[in-house]
Amino acid sequence: MRTFRGGLLIGLAVAVLVAALAITYEFYDTRTLKRTVRRGEVLCGVNKGLPGFSIPDDKGNWSGFDVDFCRAVAAAIFDDPSKARFVPLDASERFKELQSRKVDILSRNSTWSMSRELDYDLYFPAVAYYDGEGFMVPRSRNKETSLDLADSKVCVQSGTTTLLNLADYFRANNMKYELVKFDKLEDVVKAYDTGKCDTLTADVSQLYALRLNMSKPGDHMILPDVISKEPLAPVVRQRDDDWMMIVKWTLYAMINAEELGVTSENIDEALKSKKPEVMRLVGTEGNYGEQLGLTKDWAVRIIRRVGNYGEMYERNIGEKSQLKIPRGMNQLWNAGGVQYAPPMR
């Protein structure tokens, strides 16, 4: 009888242990690349509609800076940027949906912060766009700087770092304001455009995009002040280092390509280059692609199908776009900006 009971207890203990390990494995599963390859597409969480960054047309075709980055990841893996499928997510749900594996990667104007990495068990592999919070006001208000905004009625989206920065800025400058917040970005924009508030705050890049949606875009101005650091980065789950490395080095390959002058137009000539840095980028020297679990020509796939960082920037948000946002800090480090990729060697 004792032997039976002892065996039963051991059996129960083993069952509990196996169940606990299964739950742990399910939570910390590190096979995103394998699942992505098996599925045949990259699931990418994007903003529901932000011109220049991620927006669908009337046929459901997505375009934008963040969209193109996901296409670059798909190109690296499948040699086919169309293998990226886009899942629109609200700011309030984006991190939880990534945790629950509804998407493989977030590429939707998300600020890299310490609390987000720690609270959500996420990684922000590299900064894709350096931004900062700013303010948009009607030109009729005749405001010159953000220090002129005392007693303003400010519209802002809930669940964002924008809300926290706003409170810090007004408190630090001993200014009062009235907060008007909404969960959905479209409600924030509508409230501002209809005069329910006289100031709109968001990342500066977002303000450029949102201004296009105003009933009279020319009636609004973006003040010159930037009140915060907003390093916008793609996001992946922690404890999935193989996938994190692919996402990180996809961006770094695009930045390095721009620095080396390798573009979608001259990529075939770059394959013949004898310059060591270019040879390592295009895979004619070294085995960097294989170390990532990809092919030798992984970076060639990215550049040929999507382009280098500068090409991605200019067509979506730079001078070749409606937004025409100056490169500013997002210029390469050797051209006066802070965009800087580690060397491939």
Q: What is the mean pLDDT of residues 98-105?
A: 96
Check residue 25 and give its pLDDT.
43
How many CB atoms within 10 Å of residue 25? 11
- Average pLDDT, rounded, for the chain: 92
Per-residue pLDDT of 203-236, as tens digits, reads 999 999 999 989 999 999 999 999 999 999 999 9
Which amino acid is located at 325 in the chain? I
Per-residue pLDDT of 3-46, as tens digits, reads 545 555 555 544 444 344 444 444 445 589 999 999 999 999 99
Residue 25 in tokens: 């494995």
Per-residue pLDDT of 164-214, as tens digits, reads 999 999 999 999 999 999 999 899 999 999 999 999 999 999 999 999 989
Using the predicted structure, report yes or no on whether residue 334 has a pLDDT greater than 90.
Answer: yes
Cα 31 to Cα 28, 121, 237, 342, distances in angstroms: 9, 16, 11, 26
pLDDT-based confidence at 91, cuts 50/70/90? confident
What predicted TM-score, i.e. pTM, was given to this entire model? 0.85
The Cα–Cα gap between 154 and 150 comes to 10
Which amino acid is located at 228 in the chain? S
Residue pointed to by tokens 């009235």: 178
Nearest in space to 253 (alpha carbons), one of 292, 281, 295: 281
24 alpha carbon, distance to own chain's centre:
27
CB 160 within 8 A of CB 91: yes
% of residues, the chain, pLDDT over 90: 88
Burial class (CB in 10 A: 0-12, 13-18, 19+), 99: middle
Question: Residue 129: helix, strand or coil by DSSP?
Answer: strand
CB 192 within 8 A of CB 155: yes
The Cα–Cα gap between 18 and 38 comes to 26
Tell me the domains of the chain and their CATH numbers.
130-230 (3.40.190.10)
Which amino acid is located at 58 in the chain? D
Q: What is the mean pLDDT of residues 307-331?
A: 96
Check residue 294 and give its pLDDT.
97
Per-residue pLDDT of 116-160, as tens digits, reads 999 999 999 999 999 999 999 999 999 999 999 999 999 999 988
150 alpha carbon, distance to own chain's centre:
32
Check residue 159 and give its pLDDT.
85
Do strands 199-203 and 133-138 pair parallel, antiparallel, or not at all (unpaired)?
Answer: antiparallel
Check residue 92 and give its pLDDT.
85
For 145, phi then psi, to 5°, come to -140, 170
Cα 105 to Cα 71, 188, 189, 250, 323, distances in angstroms: 11, 26, 27, 13, 25
